Structures are given as C-alpha cells and as structure tokens.
Amino acid sequence: MNWNSLLNDNRLGTDKTSTKDSLDGRSQFQKDFDRIVFSPAFRRLQDKTQVFPLPESDFVHTRLTHSLEVSVVGRSLGNLVGETIIERNSKLKKQFTKFHFGDIIAAACLAHDIGNPPFGHSGEDAIAEFFRKGNGKDFEDQIGDEKKWDDLINYEGNAQGFRIITTLQNPDIKGGLRLTYATLAAFTKYPKESFTSNKLKYLIKKNAYKKFGFFQSEKEIFKEVAEKTELDFKINNNDYWWHRHPLTLLVEAADDICYRIMDLEDGFRLGLISFVDTEELMISLVNKNDLMDYKGRDENEKIGYLRAKAISNLVGELADTFLDEEENIISGKLEDDLISAIPNAENLENIKLVSIDKIYHTRSVVEREVAGYEVLAGLLDTFIQAYNESYAEHLSPKNRAVISLLPKRITTDRNYDLYKRLLKITDFVSGMTDSFAVSLFRKIKGISLPGGRVTE
C-alpha cells in the first residue's frame, strides 16, 4: 500500500476527478465531514444510547456526543501523524498537508457509530438472535445462500453503517453520500465480508478481522473502494477480504480511548464508581507534571481535568506508536489494535475491567439490554410478516395496516429477492432511535394507544 493512493480524494458514485482547491475553501475530506453532519442518520444518534438509558441523567453521553468527541480526538491524531508522514514522504507535499490526514480521520470517526441500531451493541445481538434462533430462523432455507444468511445471523452495525453512507442516504443517487474513497476505506474497521470458510477461520484471531464491514449487498461497493485506495488483499483476489487502511487504526484508537475514559467519567458522575477509585484510574494515565494545577478544584472538576490530561497524553502515545510502526502498518503486518501497543495499555485495560464490573453490568444497563431483545424482535417479526405477505395475493386487514406504517421508499420499491426484503426491514428497524422503537413497539402490541392511553 502507498500513501498517495490511500489518500484518494475522488468520490464514490461519480466519474469526476476532485479538484484539490475547492472554491469554498474546504478540502474534499472536510466536505465528507459536512455531508455526514447533515445526514438524517447522524442526527438520529442524539437519541441512541451510548451506555446508560437516556432519561437517567442529562450528563451522560449519547451516541451523538460520543461520535463528536471521537471525531475531535481523531482529528488531533491525524494532524500529529500526518505532519511526520509528509516529512518522510516528500512527494506528498505537492498534494496534501497534515490537515488532510486529520480531516479524513475526523470524518470517519464522525460516522463510526452511524449504523448502530437502538440499544447499542445489545441491539445488534437482538437482530442477529431474531434470525439465528427467533422467528426469523425459518428464512434460512428460503434464502439458500450461506453468505447472505451469515449477514443476518451475525448482524453487524459496522456493515450497516457502510450501507447507510454508501446506499441508504440519498438512495436515488449512486454512491449515497458520495464520500471520498479515502474516508470510506478509513471508516471500514473490518474490511471483509461476513462469511468465512472453515479453512480461513484461524485468521480471525486478529482484532482486525473478528467482525465484518459490509453486507453481501454492498460488497462490490467496498471492492471499488479497496481498488481505488489500493488496499492489499488479505488472502487472494477471489476473497472479499483486504488489509485495513492504515488510518483505520487511528479511527479505532480514537474510539477506544474516548469510550474508556468518558464511560469512566459517566460512571463517576452517576455514583457507580467512587471519586477515589476514579481519580486513581485517571491519574495512572497522566504525567506527574500535569498534577501541578490539580488542587483547589471540586471532585467533578478534578475528574474533568484528569480526563482532559489523560486524553491528551494518550493521543501523543498513539501518534508516536503509529509512526514507529508505520512500515508494519503500511505492509499490513500490524493487525491488532493500536491501543494495545502504547505505554499506557495496561492502565487502559484496568479501566476497561473496572467499567465492565461497575458500569456495564449495572441493573439499569442490563434492563435496557433485555428490553432491546423484546422490542427489536417484536418489531422485526411484525414488519417482516406484513411485508412478505404484501407480496402474496391476499393481505390480511391487520398486515395491511402494518404496511401503512412503513416508509413509502420501502413499500413502493417492489423486490422479489427475500434477502433484500429482509435487509429493508432491518434498515427500517435499526435506523430507529431508542425512544421511537419503544414507542412504536408499545403501540403495535397494544400496550399503549396514540394519545398516551395505556391499556389494562
């Protein structure tokens, strides 16, 4: 792989070659960022839970605030790394600056959670469970394609995100949001299809390949992205499986440090972790010199101060590690996450373990996860039954009413491919916000009625 191709700023879905100097002063990658910000799918992240149920506190993070913070950290990482890479590769100076690296990573980070369904990772599991063991399991024989079925029983928010930004947003335009090839490649955390034959499963021990980044429906789109950025094949040119784009490691790292540090702060603010324990964990990540201005603050201010210093220190460590490993990263030899290779890796792992014990397993979080299974399975079952029946000669009165609740973009696009029909319903359900999914589930199940009435 080479940086000149990896930074390809031409756009998916158009034959036009980008102009390096935009009339409005924005780089092509800044335009990617702006297109994501104004997309409806990004806006819905304001009502999607990061960890804690939304009504519990007005302080804790949503997927929207988390994505914005990850983007800020990612931009800093990109700028630091880009400056040195350009110095090392003088030919890049004619076309790129360090800020182009930062802009690519910022855009990719901004969209990194855009495919998350309601209820976060438990929502992904709920959708997969519906097809694996729920009422959706009956479709396996009808689909008759192992790879397509694997997409459903291992449903993945990262693949849904790639589908959203390349296909579902602006569905009448080839390329969806028409982001640059560089941003799309950097966005794709797992550059492989879902299906992996038994003889290749030993290769998935690496973090970079434990999940998948695109459905069968978008695999040719990602192939185009991989070819335009000249990603190396992981196996051979008959497999839809490539080495990661180098900047993907920084996108992933920005996400890792944000959710570990910010979830810890949220846990402290909600009283799940004591000030003493939170302080000790945070101090392990900062330099001693950073503690000179630490006294004279209240507890909340102290934790906020330590959080800022910790993130700043981790950004420096990640940038240094990336630059030290640049040759291995470009050649595809470094396949684990970058965060495990920095000096503070052990301290971050300790934070992760404490968070699992004291945050992620708290009652309110677990209750939300359990509710997610019921809500998403119920929505999928209701809408899939109705949508499939709409292709038969007779449609029951109930399902006729259910069909009227689906967006017209789904009901007017007649498609007799069962796999694509199932994807359309998962698109609809996974795109819901948490509160809308719960409200709609209660209404169609008769638990509550429009106008706020609750059935007895």
Domain ranges of the chain: 3-246, 248-360, 363-454
Helix (H) or strand (E) holding 186: helix 181-187
Digit-coded pLDDT (tens) for 279-295: 999 999 998 887 777 77
Q: What is the mean pLDDT of the chain?
A: 88
Is 269 or 296 the better-scoring residue by pLDDT?
269
C-beta atoms surrounding 99 within 10 Å: 17
The answer to whether 45 and 62 are in contact (CB under 8 A) is yes
Architecture of domain 248-360: Orthogonal Bundle (1.10)
Q: Which residues contact 250 (CB under 8 A, 6 or more apart)?
A: 74, 77, 78, 81, 105, 318, 322, 338
Digit-coded pLDDT (tens) for 400-438: 899 999 998 888 877 778 999 999 999 999 999 999 999
pLDDT score recorded for residue 456 = 39
The answer to whether 144 and 120 are in contact (CB under 8 A) is no
The answer to whether 70 and 112 are in contact (CB under 8 A) is yes
Distances, alpha carbon 429 to alpha carbons 123, 287, 383, in Å:
10, 46, 9
User: Residue 270 — very low, low, confident or very high, per pLDDT cuts 50/70/90?
Assistant: confident
Rounded mean pLDDT, 206-232: 91
User: Residue 57 — very low, low, confident or very high, per pLDDT cuts 50/70/90?
Assistant: low
pLDDT at 58 over 80: no
Lowest-confidence range among 17-26, 193-202, 416-425?
17-26
Rounded mean pLDDT, 160-188: 95
Is 144 or 183 the better-scoring residue by pLDDT?
183
pLDDT at 392 over 80: no
Handedness of CA 51, 335, 5, 226 (dihedral sign): negative
> Which CATH code fits 3-246?
1.10.3210.10
Rounded mean pLDDT, 342-350: 94
Q: How far is 46 from 167, CA to CA, in rounded Å?
A: 22
